[in-house]
Every structure is written in C-alpha cells, then in structure tokens.
Structure 1
Amino acid sequence: MMRLIQKLLVFILCFPLLSFCQKNDTKNWIQLFNGKDLTGWVVKINGYPLGENIHNTFRVEDGLLKVSYDGYEDFGKSFGHIFYEKPFSNYILKLEYRFVGKQAKGGQEWGIKNSGAMIHSQSPQSMELDQSFPVSLEVQFLGGIDKNIERPTGNLCTPGMHVTMNNQKITEHCIPSTSPTFYGDEWIHVEVEVHNDSLITHKINGLKVISYSKPIFGGQFNTTFKEGIPVKSGYISLQSESHPIEFKNIEILEL
C-alpha cells in the first residue's frame, strides 16, 4: 500500500511538469503555411522570373496548398517550386500530401504521381532563369500506378548533391526508401528530421524509411556551387512536376 501511495505522489508531482513540456513543445512548432494564402512563400518556375506564379499553379483553396494545372495547355518543362522565405539547418519538418486528379498534358511520363519537398536547397534568388530544379536534397513523393509495380515514397533524390549512406558516398540520383506503395488519394504524413549535415531521416506515417548524412555539392544539376563543400543548411520548397498534388499541416520545429 505504501509503495502505491509513493507512486501516486510521484505521478502527481511530475504531471504538471509533463503538461508544461507538452505545452511548450506545441508553442515551438512554427506553421509554415497559414491555410489562407501564400504569405511567406515565393514561387520560382523554370523559364520565368522569380515570383511569377504562372497559371496560378500554386494556390490556396479550402485551407489547402494546391499545385494545379487547369490553366496549362501544355506543361512542357515548366517545373516549378514554391520556397519558404527563410533557410533552416537543424529541425523537424512535418507535412501531409496527397495526389489528386490526372497529370497535366505534356508532362513527362515519370512525372505521373511524382512530386516532392526539397530541403537544404539553394535560395530561390540564386536559381537561374532556365533552371528546372534547385540544387537540394529532395524528399521524393511517389504514388502507385500499376498494382504489380512497387513505388515507395519518401525516397531521396539528389539534384546537385551527393550523400553518405552506410559509410559510403552515394552518387546515384535517386535512392528508394523502404516505405510501402500508396495507390489511392489518401493523405500521407511525412516527417523529415534534419541535424545539419550529420544525420537526416525521412519518416512516412510515423515509420523511418531512409537515413543518410554528409550532403555535399556535386553531380548532376550542380551548375553553381563548388563540388565537395558540405551542405549544412538551406531552404525548403514544394514541387510542381506536372501531377496535381495537395499539401496541408506544413510545420517545423527548430532543434
């Protein structure tokens, strides 16, 4: 009986502290998307000046950040990104996405149910007019198309960078994760934990699907930065790659 009373006293004393920590943690999360407009974000689309959101590609409707193509006659090479206004280096990024509708006319075949979030990216201001993708690390989002073909999501693609995995330098452009394939239009929860350049982890629906470290400049799509330099921070952006996609609950916790 005495032990039970002691345990109850410990719980009573600790509960206020736990409540405080939970409240404090909630306050530290920053909402990157306000659900009303694109305040805090800037658009860069291949072939167009910074800030020109052609055909209202990136828009806010029903509290969602949508990437839409109803104004396009032909997508061509109009790859676009919408960047948050400031860089980050040590953080947890959370968001939810879902693919909707059909691919825009003129999109590449590989662009079907293909999008992503770029981290440790170069700034939108530093991109060239005709640059399709920022030098960055892409948390690639894929959706299933053929029931007989696996298409994991939360993969890593590396436009203009290399990383280290299992103590080996990885130079492949895209590395698949261990996530399952999602074939429908359900919301997928993504979490990316970034510790500068020491460790980066992708999680899908709460499960770790890939980890890597030591990103450096180098390889395909790098036309700006000296190869081999470590990348410890950068901007966050969301992609426009020809298939409609929606985002919500985009938030960040700086560590």
Structure 2
Amino acid sequence: MLKAVSLTAVAVMCLLLVVPMDSGAAEKADEQGWISLFNGKDFTGWRISEDGDWKVEDGVIVGGGNRSHVFSDKKFKDFEFKTECQLEPGSNSGVYFHSDYVETWPVVGLEVQLNNTHGDPRKTGSLWGVTHAFESAAKDNEWFELHVKVVGNHVQTFVNGKMIIDYIQPNGVTDDRRVREEGGSFALQAHDPKSVMKFRNIRVKPLDSKKSKDK
C-alpha cells in the first residue's frame, strides 16, 4: 500500500512539472522579451473609465464618444512600449504611462500625444505639457507605430521608427505630470466626441534600468 501511494505521489509531481502553472499566453514574453497587453478579443487586463465608448472590432480597440480612458491593470516602471495606432482626421488622443486609474483625466504620469491634424499644435509623439513636436510624423487614416522607451528619468518617443522626443527629466521634479519612481499603468485616451482612434498590437518589454544604463 505504501508503495502504491509513493508511485501515485511521484506521478502527480511529474504532472505538475510538465503542466505550466500559468497558461495565460498573453502574459508570456516572446523571444525578444515582448509581452502582449491586448488579447485581440476583449478588455481583459484593462479598465475603462467614465463608461467610455470603447469596443473591440476585428482585433482592434476602437475609441470614440465622450472623454474616457482605458487603463492597463499591469504597471511598469522601466520599459519599451509599442502599439500601432490610427486616427481619423481631426482626432486627438494619447497614451499615458506611469499613470493610475481614476474616473476623470489621469492625474499622474505622462501623456504621449496622438494628434496629426487636430487644432492642438502639439503633435504625435510629444510629451504633452512637457516637451513638444509641432509637426506630425504620421498621417490620418493610416496605421503608424508608436514606440516609447523609459529608463529611469530618460524618456524617448518614436513614430514609425523616427525619434520624436528625447527627454531627460531633471532631478527634483514634483509635479504630478512626471516620470514616477514607482512606475504605473498605461492608459489609452478618448479625448472628445469628434475624435476616433484605433489601437492594435499593444505590447511592452520590461527593462532593467541598471543594465540598460550600462549599455
């Protein structure tokens, strides 16, 4: 009887070793270290504020209607972030990082502006309210890639591979609109009823700030 129990225990242990504890494919990094933040089907892993008019269509997040934001549940400090975006003409949007969920405008963190032809002079890739580009490197009604890299207090933004902003936050900044030591969530923005924005292929690569600085 003891031998039978022992064999059963060994068999169970072998199964535990073979079957992974986490079967969530969306949270597993690929060979380059990228983790998908959007499963292409629904808002699992995200939280919508202000009952916003967000939906998923054909693997794409579509935002519009009144002001609202979609916040990621997961938080990151040092990272590379990439997503493909598309704006309808005259639209205003953005991607926040180092933020926290709230029911109004994000209170903390920095916003990477998405605006190709809206009246706001601060165009796509700008760090809104901090440092700006006044010509857009993207076009409306076309998919473009937004790439954000944050290491310590160093922030870089890229649009279709072109660097837009290279910003080092000065020491001692205490304003809520800043790189935060504790990191935070990402948030996709629906700015106003006249703006329509789309996002797909949303992913992040966590970074080790010390290793990144040594390179």
Task: Report how many aligned residue pairs link the two structures.
Answer: 174
Pair 1:38 & 2:38 matched: no
Matching residue within 186, 195, 206 for 2:142: 186
Q: Output the aligned Cα RMSD.
A: 2.7
Change (3 A) 1:174 1:113: farther
Q: Deviations over 1:62-115 (max 9, x none)?
A: 11011033xxxxx4xxx21111102101110000111137xxxxxxxxxx4110
Which residue in 2 is equivalent to 1:162? none
Check whether the contact 1:202–1:210 (CA below 8 A) recurs between aligned residues.
yes
Check whether the contact 1:141–1:154 (CA below 8 A) recurs between aligned residues.
yes
Per the TM alignment, residue 183 of structure 1 is displaced from its structure 2 partner at its CA by 4.1
Pair 1:67 & 2:63 matched: yes
Q: TM-score, normalised by structure 2?
A: 0.71
Which residue in 1 is equivalent to 2:33? 28
- Structure 1 residue ranges, 4+ long, deviating more than 4 angstroms after superposition: none
Pair 1:234 & 2:179 matched: no
Check whether the contact 1:154–1:179 (CA below 8 A) recurs between aligned residues.
no
CA distance in 2, matches of 1:120, 1:200: 12
Matching residue within 127, 137, 142 for 2:110: 137
Gaps of 5+ in 2: 1-28, 208-215
Change (3 A) 1:208 1:88: same
Check whether the contact 1:114–1:241 (CA below 8 A) recurs between aligned residues.
yes
Per the TM alignment, residue 184 of structure 1 is displaced from its structure 2 partner at its CA by 2.9
Matching residue within 110, 120, 123 for 1:152: 123
Matching residue within 217, 220, 223 for 2:174: 217
Which residue in 2 is equivalent to 1:83? 71
Q: TM-score, normalised by structure 1?
A: 0.61
Residue type matched to 2:61 in 1? Answer: L
CA distance in 2, matches of 1:68, 1:180: 21
Matched residue of 2:113: which SS? strand
Residue type matched to 1:210 in 2? Answer: I
Gaps of 5+ in 1: 1-23, 46-52, 70-74, 102-111, 158-172
Which residue in 1 is equivalent to 2:4? none
